[in-house]
Structure 1
Amino acid sequence: MTSDFESTITGTRYSFDSLTEVLAKANEEKTGDELADIAADSAAERVAAKDALSRVSLATLRENPVIPYDEDEVTRVIQDAVDEDVYGKLREWTVSELREFLLAEETTEREIAEIRPGLTSEMVAAVAKLMSNLDLIQATSKMTVTARCNNTIGGEGTLSFRLQPNDPTDDIDNIRNSIREGLSYGVGDAVIGINPVEDNAEQTKRLLEITKEFIETWEIPTQNCVLSHITTQMEAVENGAPADLLFQSLAGTEAGNESFGIDVELLDEAYAFGEDECTAAGPNFMYFETGQGSELSSDAHAGVDQVTLEARCYGLAKRYDPFIVNTVVGFIGPEYLYDGKQVIRAGLEDVFMGQLTGISMGIDACYTNHIQADQNDIENLAVLLTAAGSNYFISVPMGDDTMLNYQSNSYHDAAALWDIFDVHPAPEFESWLEAMGIVEDGQLTEKAGDLTVFLDEPEEHLRQEGTQ
């Protein structure tokens, strides 16, 4: 019996039983797929799967989601969002033809934007699997996705940063000082976002209040967020907490989201709640985090590879028009991404897939101490993704988050990336940095890294710069 998905490589015929198997085995090497026993058994089989996948039509991918429509609400969200008119123009394209379209020199950003509504997450994942790292960078560099909360990120020539002032005891003084230091290095335009030690409404409210007070005192054009569970944040806001962004982790399957304590109904409720209660100017006020392998960690992967599941996270996120989506690419551990090579590949895949989906995409270029990676690996990833056009990165003091016990980009990495690529913070935020005397003519001044700037009264800085 002949399979619909087969390929012959160096005289050996490889046959695949399903589209889900082709997608899994066409994936670049990932320990998560190996752990799930769905990865290619050899490099030759991986090449064969890529060859078979290249000839699959977009219609086949649309008609065969990796989890059936009637079994999974994430599938339903993705499928129901497809613009049928746009899809009708693309349905006969093969995955190879989609790849060539994205990489063609003559293809414009506008033309890519025009096809987005006709794509499903399986299509987005499939084309990523046919691309080299350089292909992913080139294609991503053609795509601009902007979003606005209290400022605008993602514009051409900009690179934003989340200021992450986590503290292992939620000590308010330590958090404030970390905020001061980060701002003095010019970071914080994506969000000042705290991962709390305690996930309860009282502590969430407290942290939202101190960050909002700091933002308002210094008239900073940015947004605050505390990354507790979405229901905790809603309770805190109901109790009077000022939240610019509402946060939640997402998975690419219904079962995976159940393990996070969420479903589409709750996310819809949170979105409606945020429209009424968030303190941001908007219109974008949702913040999501994802990461390859999260579904496997909760035994909710349904036999699907982690790249395809990650793309489905973005398909779900798109429903809520988020301000930022962040892949914590090396945080979960070596069970899913073994070393720096796999982390770099996953980061490039994720930002590409997010941008192609049409969401404001950023990354935590990070690793944990038990993974085979080091600071050079994530600095390499930061350079590659700045070239690609990532909307933002996470930044933590000295690159070491002592609360979450992992390594990321540091506050001062931002200056190097801005300088190398001649990019800038969000325009409103950069104007504020100039008014504070932290930036002049696009360069950090001698005030950079001096958190004592923010120990004075605001009037001593802002008024003398003529902003009041």
Structure 2
Amino acid sequence: MGRYHSDFQGERHRFADLREVLAKASPRRSGDELAGLAAESDAQRVAARAVLADLPLTRFLEEPLIPYEADEVTRLIQDTHDAAAFAPLRHLTVGGFRDWLLSYDATPGALAAIAPGLTPEMVAAISKLMRNQDLISVARRCRVVTGFRSTIGLPGRLSTRLQPNHPADDLRGIAAATLDGLLHGAGDAVIGVNPATDSVANGMALLDMLDGLRARHGIPAQSCVLAHVTNTIRMIERGAPVDLVFQSIAGTEAANAGFGVSLSVLREAQEAALSLGRGTVGDNVMYFETGQGAALSADAHHGIDQQTVEARAYAVARAFRPLLVNTVVGFIGPEYLYDGKQIIRAGLEDHFCAKLLGVPMGVDVCYTNHAEADQDDMDTLFTLLGVAGVNFIITVPGADDVMLGYQSGAFHDALYLRSTLGLRAAPEFEEWLERMEMTDRQGRVRALAPQHATMRRLLAEGSDAGEH
């Protein structure tokens, strides 16, 4: 007989352990079905949610999903749990905590105070009881502010990562895409390149070009070459102008090992970046990327549903005080999130769980070309995330990443969100855009004539980049 059980429509449903309750309570998604973890019927899903709603929050401290001795992420979660922050919630069930989150008492200040007392499993459990509007309502009140050269996450602001990827890492091509983004007001979160060739030499060439562009024009933003963390450490040792250290992370030790990283390696990288002292308004130097399905694709999920194991990755991120974290929500493919409906739900879940844990969350609103999704689905998710107070979104030229081969957001999508929802860029970046006469005093992007001084200066960068 299962440890947990519930009666629904005259049938008793039994669940062996907490992992099974969480998995069966999840909204339907292809990854959990692929893993054999999903509910077998809607009735079973409702029964699992009924069990979940009545569980004390303390149960997640008493019953780790992966044994403490077997997984360093579990050890991190338990060793860093803030009992004092959790104390006001200790008497609540999952359902009771959901009710409190949706009440007027859950102010931004109150949410920030409890964040250190929450575990990923707790917030994942709560998300499974929530409708999309609930996820939006709570996430909107979660404020996580970080800084390096620009301040990210302030109320009424929406930042963007400018992603100027090139299939051959051509410096002139990357410079041209970067300038295209800057002219559209993008880049205040980070100008971040995924290198086609992840080597120290190539990474240093990209960093030198991007930092030179930034320095020449006094751009109050940070750059990043999204190399493997060990290569970035080597670049720092060789004197490269590293602003942010990037790494993809997941929610189990085994999945992180598949990425070639551990908590100790991430600590080494953070310390190396901090030693450079390159920030001007803050010292948040880490940039992490996550995504539902990463642990499952590595067969490193330990029988945990993909949304819960994704939330565990946010505990890893939180430990390193990152400037930026984003989920690449539809990037892994339809094997894990089948269609637009599943991608939209996952994007809202990831954003809610991360922000509730105190993580500065952004989203790559994206899909692969073989998913049952299209740009209309992404427009819906962009809008919902804008209402939910997302810290930043990822933007590429024309919404089509020509190097990674997937569909993301366009520079125009950020303009749409800022205009429609009354959002603005990071204050330091906004001031620079206005000073360069690229926007007006309302933050609206201007169409600069070719003879404009700013346009002439920026267009010259393409030629300059070719000399590096």
TM bucket normalised to smaller: over 0.9
Distance in 2 (alpha carbons) for counterparts of 1:47 and 1:285 = 42
Distance in 2 (alpha carbons) for counterparts of 1:7 and 1:448 = 64
Distance in 2 (alpha carbons) for counterparts of 1:381 and 1:370 = 19
Matches within 5 A, 1:271-420: 271-277=270-276, 279-281=278-280, 282-420=282-420
Q: Would the aligned equivalents of 1:271 and 1:286 in 2 still touch at CA under 8 Å?
A: yes
Q: Cα 1:345–1:8, aligned 2, differ >3 Å: closer, same or farther?
A: same
Q: Would the aligned equivalents of 2:181 and 2:187 in 1 still touch at CA under 8 Å?
A: yes
How big is the shift at 1:449?
Answer: 10
Distance in 2 (alpha carbons) for counterparts of 1:454 and 1:344 = 39
How big is the shift at 1:172?
Answer: 0.6
Name the structure 1 match of 2:89.
Answer: 90
How big is the shift at 1:280?
Answer: 2.6
How big is the shift at 1:88?
Answer: 3.3
Distance in 2 (alpha carbons) for counterparts of 1:449 and 1:332 = 40
Aligned-residue CA RMSD (Å): 1.7
Name the structure 2 match of 1:122.
Answer: 121
Letter in 1 for 2:50: D
Distance in 2 (alpha carbons) for counterparts of 1:299 and 1:451 = 56
Distance in 2 (alpha carbons) for counterparts of 1:123 and 1:130 = 11
How big is the shift at 1:451?
Answer: 11
Task: Give % identity.
Answer: 48
Q: Would the aligned equivalents of 2:448 and 2:455 in 1 still touch at CA under 8 Å?
A: no
Name the structure 1 match of 2:250.
Answer: 251
Letter in 2 for 1:312: R
Name the structure 2 match of 1:466.
Answer: none
Secondary structure of the structure 2 residue equivalent to 1:156: coil
Q: Cα 1:443–1:274, aligned 2, differ >3 Å: closer, same or farther?
A: closer
How big is the shift at 1:67?
Answer: 0.7
Q: Cα 1:165–1:278, aligned 2, differ >3 Å: closer, same or farther?
A: farther
- Show CA shifts across 1:210-244 (max 9, x none): 11001111101100000010011111121121011
Q: Would the aligned equivalents of 1:153 and 1:426 in 2 still touch at CA under 8 Å?
A: yes
- Show CA shifts across 1:286-335 (max 9, x none): 00000000001111011000111111000111000000001000000011
Distance in 2 (alpha carbons) for counterparts of 1:449 and 1:304 = 55
How big is the shift at 1:68?
Answer: 1.1
Secondary structure of the structure 1 residue equivalent to 2:109: helix
Name the structure 2 match of 1:442.
Answer: 442
Letter in 2 for 1:387: V
Q: Cα 1:128–1:436, aligned 2, differ >3 Å: closer, same or farther?
A: same
Task: Please identify, of 251-260 and 266-275, the stretch whose mean Cα deviation from structure 2 is larger.
Answer: 266-275
- Show CA shifts across 1:96-119 (max 9, x none): 011111111332111111111111
Letter in 2 for 1:122: E
How big is the shift at 1:78?
Answer: 1.0
How big is the shift at 1:121?
Answer: 0.9
Normalised by the length of structure 2, the TM-score is 0.95
How big is the shift at 1:278?
Answer: 5.6
Q: Cα 1:83–1:202, aligned 2, differ >3 Å: closer, same or farther?
A: same
Distance in 1 (alpha carbons) for counterparts of 2:451 and 2:421 = 26
Q: Cα 1:98–1:448, aligned 2, differ >3 Å: closer, same or farther?
A: farther
Secondary structure of the structure 1 residue equivalent to 2:105: coil
Q: Cα 1:446–1:455, aligned 2, differ >3 Å: closer, same or farther?
A: closer
Normalised by the length of structure 1, the TM-score is 0.95
Distance in 1 (alpha carbons) for counterparts of 2:419 and 2:227 = 34
Name the structure 2 match of 1:465.
Answer: none
Unaligned runs of 5+ in 2: 461-468
Q: Cα 1:378–1:257, aligned 2, differ >3 Å: closer, same or farther?
A: same
Name the structure 2 match of 1:260.
Answer: 259
Distance in 1 (alpha carbons) for counterparts of 2:141 and 2:192 = 29
Distance in 1 (alpha carbons) for counterparts of 2:323 and 2:271 = 15
Secondary structure of the structure 2 residue equivalent to 1:333: coil
Distance in 2 (alpha carbons) for counterparts of 1:95 and 1:450 = 58
Name the structure 1 match of 2:153.
Answer: 154
Q: Cα 1:35–1:219, aligned 2, differ >3 Å: closer, same or farther?
A: same
Distance in 1 (alpha carbons) for counterparts of 2:372 and 2:50 = 30
Secondary structure of the structure 1 residue equivalent to 2:457: coil
Name the structure 2 match of 1:46.
Answer: 45
Secondary structure of the structure 2 residue equivalent to 1:444: coil
How big is the shift at 1:452?
Answer: 8.2
Name the structure 2 match of 1:432.
Answer: 432
Q: Would the aligned equivalents of 1:5 and 1:53 in 2 still touch at CA under 8 Å?
A: no
Name the structure 1 match of 2:36.
Answer: 37
Q: Cα 1:21–1:451, aligned 2, differ >3 Å: closer, same or farther?
A: farther
Distance in 2 (alpha carbons) for counterparts of 1:218 and 1:379 = 33
Distance in 2 (alpha carbons) for counterparts of 1:274 and 1:443 = 32
Name the structure 1 match of 2:172.
Answer: 173
Q: Cα 1:423–1:449, aligned 2, differ >3 Å: closer, same or farther?
A: farther
Secondary structure of the structure 1 residue equivalent to 2:160: strand
Q: Cα 1:266–1:450, aligned 2, differ >3 Å: closer, same or farther?
A: farther
Distance in 1 (alpha carbons) for counterparts of 2:143 and 2:10 = 43
Letter in 1 for 2:362: G
Secondary structure of the structure 2 residue equivalent to 1:440: coil
